[in-house]
């Protein structure tokens, strides 16, 4: 069972209902709880008889606005579609929740309702993207603007768990994003985290530092960084891809020959476009909470929302939260060690 906040996002609720319907072929046995305005949802659901069969509407009287600050959102969240969806996870009615609503509010509510997982100080946002070698994950993508070394080590553990559950990499290779491969570069948090990761025995391999261009090269399976840098890196990737696409369009329009060339290469270029379609990589997970919580982009369409649902389903199936326990314990023991020596 997956809980959907179908009222969040620029094109909700139509987009969310259509998205759930699009996700069905990949999830034939999954059931959905649709949280939102019953009167608006009923006619929409009628358009998708198959979805109606696998889903149940749960009325939510309120919606958290895209512009609300997290603190406002928390205060007025009672009976909101977002909060009820998250509470369904807390209460064990659903194994995970998906929302395209206000990111800050979703994080605040996620922390408030689900609480952080034992051994984790702060949850993080993680997602994955295409690289030269396949797919890699990166975190944090914006949940934590400032991070210390403990946060970064915990992100490494969470990211490795994500790579196992969603990318299917049994023993992920993890890298710390820095501005130079030499040990002397970077800030204190990054240097300390690298030392801890090098000295510990976790269920993943630590590659050391990576730089910005290693992200696209797929040098590692998991790129770990603070939420400020990660968010900028993610958006720079999107912006650069958009820029190159617009330059390519201009290039193909330059002459009759290039126009014909475009038509001949169109099927290949279209399949490349599909491969790079940001809607495919739309779900960003909040990891480190007691439960699966996926944030879909606010401006997404039905196809993007379907991808987010599918990521949530992968996380649930991959037993994400269970499988990182060993690494969290290893880190806990390491941190506790000096105290033991002292006593």
Interface residue list for a copy of itself (CB under 8 A):
69, 130-132, 142, 145-146, 177, 179-180, 184-187, 211-217, 225, 227-229, 231-244, 246-248, 250-252, 254-255, 257-258, 260-269, 271-272, 275-276
Our measurement of the distance from residue 78's CA atom to the centroid of its chain's CA atoms, rounded to an integer in Å, reads 25
Closer CB to a copy of itself, residue 234 or residue 311?
234
Three-state secondary structure of 67-104: CCCHHHHHHCCCCEHHHHHHHHHHCCCCCEEEECCCHH
Q: Least Å distance between CB 201 and a copy of itself? A: 29
Contact 222, 137 (CB under 8 A): yes
Residue nearer to a copy of itself on the CB measure, 51 or 189: 189
User: Which one, 177 or 312, has the nearer CB to a copy of itself?
Assistant: 177
- CA dist 93 and 178 (Å) reads 41
Is the CB of 52 or the CB of 269 nearer to a copy of itself? 269
Long-range contacts, stretch 63-67, CB < 8 angstroms, 24+ apart:
63/7, 63/8, 63/36, 63/37, 63/101, 64/8, 64/101, 64/102, 64/105, 65/102, 66/10, 66/101, 66/102, 66/298, 67/102
CB of 111 to a copy of itself, least distance (A): 17
Residue number, 185 or 333, with CB nearest to a copy of itself? 185
Q: How far is the CB of 70 from a copy of itself (least distance, A)?
A: 9
Minimum CB separation of residue 82 from a copy of itself in Å reads 18
Q: What angle is formed at CA 278 by the lines to CA 254 and CA 235, rounded to 5 degrees?
A: 90
Give the DSSP letter of residue 288: S
Nearer of residues 132 and 343 to a copy of itself, judged by Cβ: 132
Residue nearer to a copy of itself on the CB measure, 73 or 84:
73
Contact (Cβ atoms closer than 8 angstroms) between residue 138 and residue 230: yes
Which of 215/302 has CB closer to a copy of itself?
A: 215
CA atoms within 13 A on the CB side of 217: 8
Q: In angstroms, what is the minimal distance from the CB of 171 to a copy of itself?
A: 24
Least separation in angstroms between CB 123 and a copy of itself: 16
According to DSSP, the residues that pair with 9 across neighbouring strands are none
Query: Which neighbouring-strand residues pair with 312?
Result: none
Categorise residue 119: left if φ over 0, alpha if ψ from -120 to 50, beta otherwise: left
Q: Shortest distance, CB of residue 234 to a copy of itself, whole angstroms?
A: 7
- Cβ 284 to a copy of itself, closest distance in Å? 13
H-state helical runs in 8-63: 14-23, 38-46, 49-54
What torsion do the CA atoms of 194, 118, 308, 203 make, to the nearest 10 degrees?
40
């Amino acid at each position: 069972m997956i809980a959907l906040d179908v009222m969040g996002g620029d094109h909700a609720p139509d987009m969310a209902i259509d998205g759930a319907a699009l996700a069905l072929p990949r999830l034939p046995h999954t059931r959905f709880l649709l949280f939102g305005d019953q009167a608006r949802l009923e006619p929409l659901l009628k358009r998708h008889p198959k979805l109606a069969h696998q889903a149940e509407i749960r009325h939510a009287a309120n919606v958290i606005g895209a512009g609300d600050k997290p603190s406002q959102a928390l205060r007025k969240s009672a009976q909101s579609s977002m909060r009820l969806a998250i509470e369904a996870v807390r209460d064990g009615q659903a194994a995970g929740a998906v929302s395209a609503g206000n990111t800050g509010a979703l994080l605040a509510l996620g922390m408030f309702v689900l609480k952080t997982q034992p051994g984790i100080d702060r949850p993080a946002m993680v997602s994955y993207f295409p690289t030269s070698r396949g797919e890699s994950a990166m975190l944090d993508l914006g949940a934590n603007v400032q991070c210390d070394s403990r946060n970064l080590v915990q992100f490494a553990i969470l990211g490795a768990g994500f790579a196992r559950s969603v990318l299917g990499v049994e023993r992920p290779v993890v890298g710390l994003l820095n501005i130079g491969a030499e040990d002397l570069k970077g800030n204190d948090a990054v240097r300390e985290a690298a030392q801890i990761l090098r000295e510990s025995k976790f269920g993943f391999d630590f590659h050391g530092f990576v730089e910005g261009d290693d992200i696209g090269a797929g040098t590692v399976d998991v790129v770990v960084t603070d939420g400020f840098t990660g968010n900028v890196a993610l958006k720079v990737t999107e912006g650069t891809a958009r820029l190159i696409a617009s330059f390519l369009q201009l290039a193909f329009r330059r002459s009759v020959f290039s126009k014909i060339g475009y038509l001949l290469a169109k099927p290949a270029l279209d399949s490349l476009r599909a491969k790079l379609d940001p809607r495919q990589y739309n779900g960003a997970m909040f990891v480190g909470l007691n439960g699966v919580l996926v944030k879909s982009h606010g401006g997404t369409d039905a196809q993007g929302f379907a991808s987010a649902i599918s990521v949530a389903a992968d996380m649930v199936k991959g037993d994400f939260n269970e499988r990182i326990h060993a690494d969290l314990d290893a880190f806990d023991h390491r941190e506790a060690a000096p105290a033991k020596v002292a006593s």
